[in-house]
Amino acid sequence: MRVTKLGRILRKTSIDELPQFFNMLMGNMSVIDPRPHMVIHTLQYENSLDKYLVRQFLKPGITSPAQIQGCRREIVNRSDIVNRVRYGIFYMEKWSLALDAIIVFLTVYNALKGEEKAY
């Protein structure tokens, strides 16, 4: 309810993610890898969700396979986090330059068309 019209446009097009490129240039993030979760989620799921902590071996990414598949927003149901972990593990196991190119293309495409599940 507190989001302004400009804020809605920034979120829908993911323009608000652009500052993350500074983190990437500084070496703190990569372009593609599993998106980081809040610490509370790590505490909640590290023991109950298989392979949850495997994602921690990689630097967090600006975009991810889960993000392009629409797994955005807050974690409301257990299936939300399960799908994110599943896509993250898939990416780690199947990484290739071609897969990275597809993810980058789909990320740009989603940003230009405006993603429905963006905050």
The pLDDT assigned to 1 comes to: 66
Closest to 67 measured CA to CA, from 106, 112, 20:
106
The pLDDT assigned to 117 comes to: 57
What's the pLDDT tens digit per position in 2-41? 778 888 888 777 777 788 888 888 988 888 887 777 788 8
pTM given for the model: 0.74
In Å, how far from its chain's centre is CA 19? Answer: 15
The pLDDT assigned to 73 comes to: 73
> Domain boundaries in the chain?
5-113
The pLDDT assigned to 103 comes to: 94
Q: Quick one: pLDDT band at residue 119, thresholds 50, 70, 90?
A: very low
- DSSP 3-state of 73: coil
* Cα–Cα dist 43/34, whole Å: 17
The pLDDT assigned to 21 comes to: 83
What's the pLDDT tens digit per position in 49-93? 888 888 778 888 888 898 888 887 778 888 888 888 899 889 999
Number of other residues whose CB lies within 10 A of the CB of residue 14: 22
